[in-house]
Chain A
């Protein structure tokens, strides 16, 4: 900090937010969570970067990269890491609860209704239709993620992809065991491929 800067009381950094308190964190994450049908990430970025300016786009990407790298639901990790950076442990708990408590109440209410009325033929037909559309959406997301991989023509990545698909989807082997074998293999293959490219 240059001590001779004029108007020393004014904030200097580009994101100049008043950092949210714990209740504001809870509310902000509750809002993005309840807005997020089929994925909360887009809404989280919009709220944190664009609306509240609590982080710059770069800070957000860096935080998200860390959360994506760690196991577990990415957006849950993001709430915890973001809350911790703003308000420490209690900030993380506030953001975590904001993200999960309201939609949990909704889902549990739906579960209760389903347990009582799930056998009604009309509801069965609706859920069948929704289920088909939801699987279609999942396939579309998978296809969109697959395209860049196909374009780059990385044979080893494609072999790993097919191996995991067959092991978990067709043979129904347990996920932990499959990942314990394929993750080191994939890391080694990626490392070798990059070294060859650099050489």
Chain B
């Protein structure tokens, strides 16, 4: 098993990141990848792509991809520490803020800041797509499947789970 030092570095990395997680877990993917693959060599590119796939296949908040990263580094303890580090600091902040202001009131600032953050989160999500595409195996059938899934999901209201299942079946059949 890995020691306390590893758990502390997992907690520090994800606790710090959580404070900058605007626009949800999808927008934090590039930084999670940088922490797990580039900086700490906790996992390979292929393992990161797999972790993303498994997180999408599982129910629950998408942020649980950090549980998979944590597990890869330090087993169940690592998964627990990564998840708590990613969720508890901001949850405590949300709790405190909601107690301080029971309603948003008439201040224009929250709406303004939120509007200002929208283009930033979209840029981050696009960056997530790019990082994941490079982490995954870049064969031509893989690119075709990615684009096809994107077009289908954007153009129809098909339940995303079916697209994931279809991708898994095509992969199993050896088409990807």
Contact = CB atoms under 8 A, between A and B. Distances in A.
Interface of A: 33-40, 62-63, 65-77, 79-81, 84-85, 89, 92, 96, 99-100, 102-104, 106-108, 110-112, 114-115, 118, 122, 125-146, 149, 154, 157-158, 160-165, 168-170, 172, 174-176, 179, 182-183, 186-187, 189-191, 194
Given A127-B53, A189-B116, A137 B61 contact: no
Given A62-B103, A128-B136, A145-B121, 11 more contacts: A36-B61, A37-B161, A104-B80, A106-B59, A111-B67, A134-B164, A137-B149, A140-B153, A161-B126, A172-B38, A175-B124
A192 B122 CA distance: 21
A163 B123 CA distance: 8
Contact of A168 (B72, B93, B99, B123): B123
A158 B68 CA distance: 33
Contact of A134 (B52, B67, B93, B119): B52
A189 B117 CA distance: 11
Given A34-B60, A107-B54, A108-B79, A73 B123 contact: no
A28 to B, nearest CB: 14
B124 A168 contact: yes
A142 B125 CA distance: 6
Given A133-B146, A160-B120, A71 B20 contact: yes
A38 B34 CA distance: 23
A129 B145 CA distance: 8
B129 A114 contact: no
Q: Top 5 A-B pairs ranked by shortest CB distance?
A: A129-B171, A103-B60, A72-B90, A136-B149, A169-B127
A108 B76 contact: yes
Given A36-B59, A71-B22, A72-B18, A145 B90 contact: no
B112 A191 contact: yes
B117 A134 contact: no
17 contacts: A33-B60, A37-B58, A37-B160, A68-B114, A69-B113, A71-B20, A107-B54, A111-B79, A131-B50, A134-B149, A140-B153, A145-B125, A160-B123, A164-B119, A164-B124, A169-B130, A194-B112
